[in-house]
Amino acid sequence: MCPYEAIKRDPETGKVEIDLQKCQVCGICYSACPVSAVEIVYYDYATLVNYVKKMREERKSDTLVLMCRGNSPSTREIEHILKNQGLSVKNYIPLRLPCSGRVPTDFLLKTLKLGIKSIVSIQCEDAFCRFKEGTKISTRRFILTKNVLDQLGLDKNSVRVIKHSRKAVYDTEKCVGCDKCVFICPYKAIEPEPFATPKILNEECMGCGACALVCPYDAIQVEGFEFENVLKLYTESARKLKAEGKFPVILVFCCQWAEFSVLDNPESLLLKKAVVLEVPCFKSLDPGHVINALHNGFDGVMAAVCSNEDCKLQEGGETAERNMTVLKNALKKIDLLERFELYRISPRCTDDFNQKLEEFSRRIAALPRLEVEAKPNV
């Protein structure tokens, strides 16, 4: 069952053991265990049920939308996806998960019993799944749930599966045919065309953003992580926190696979005077964002990234290292290097992120206040 071979049975004792170094915290084993012998830190059954109960009361909604972390669309995208499926839903309960495969069948049936009338699971396409078998396992569970509902004489269409994956967005009008994207793509999802602009193979694209980073004309961007949108988000946040007199104000760029709890509840960081923005993979983060953030009100910028062995995207760690080398050289030249730090963290270590953030915040607080006039964004 484990797609990472992190669970094995001891041939002598017969006991099942989990290798935490191999575990990727996908939760598939937890959701599959028939006797609840596997405990999990994030998104356990009780937590998920309590979340649905609370949100149902707050939102007065009877529609639950499950989303995989790797493809989780924006609010506007969700409404568009639902509309394409004939579901006109403005008020829904969003539930974002690292992998849809960690949702047990019991949870689906329990939510229906709680009064949820429609469950929509927006899952990654099979080949896109970052947890290897998560989408396939989840699809089988939804089929099982449909069969159970049908046998009970209930509406089997109250649960639906929608396949959706985040892709690169290509503006051929801006492209000059330099082919940098062709050479950088680790998935061979971009093909050169003779005497024409390159061609993106959507079925191969994993939305990692490597192509967007190297494009000198902004002809390619990752859907939902466009440069201007990201820039606007953290610039407005910095102004608000500064106006409230907060210090130090920290911006955290976090790989969506490196940390779970904070990304699903970003407001929890506001008390710590920090703003967190997730990226699909750290190799897609434009180093210019770090410099812009320091020029637009943040006292420090922290990067939380996966270790190389935990990276869910090909060459993510190695590419990120090269990008950070360039960034650090640039920061050193403008005397801002001490205000940036990259930390490698893992969701296996439950308090790792908070410890690193506290450590970085203390370091920035000890520095003189940063008085930098707003400069043109780079």
Topology at the third CATH level for domain 7-163: Rossmann fold (3.40.50)
By CB atoms closer than 10 A (0-12, 13-18, 19+), residue 126 is middle
Number of Cβ atoms within 10 Å of the Cβ of 325:
11
Measured distance CA(21)–CA(23) in Å, rounded? 6
Measured distance CA(114)–CA(92) in Å, rounded? 15
The domain locations on the chain are: 7-163, 168-222, 227-365
pLDDT digit string (tens) for 163-215? 888 888 889 899 999 999 999 888 899 999 888 889 989 888 888 888 888 89
- CA-wise closest residue to 339 among 286, 303, 310, 378: 303
The CATH code of the domain at 227-365 is 3.40.50
CATH value of 168-222 in 3.40.50.2300, 3.20.10.10, 3.30.70.20, 1.10.10.10:
3.30.70.20
What would the mean pLDDT of 44-69 be, rounded to a whole number? 89
CA 202, 208, 209, 210 dihedral sign is: negative
pLDDT digit string (tens) for 281-322? 877 788 889 999 999 889 999 998 887 777 877 666 667 777
Tell me what pLDDT residue 227 has: 81
Query: Which residues touch 192 (CB under 8 Å, ≥6 apart)?
Result: 179, 182, 198, 199
Confidence band for 267, pLDDT divided at 50, 70 and 90: low
Question: For residue 376, is pLDDT > 60?
Answer: no
Q: Establish whether domains 7-163 and 168-222 are of one fold.
A: no
Question: For residue 373, is pLDDT > 60?
Answer: no
Measured distance CA(118)–CA(145) in Å, rounded? 13
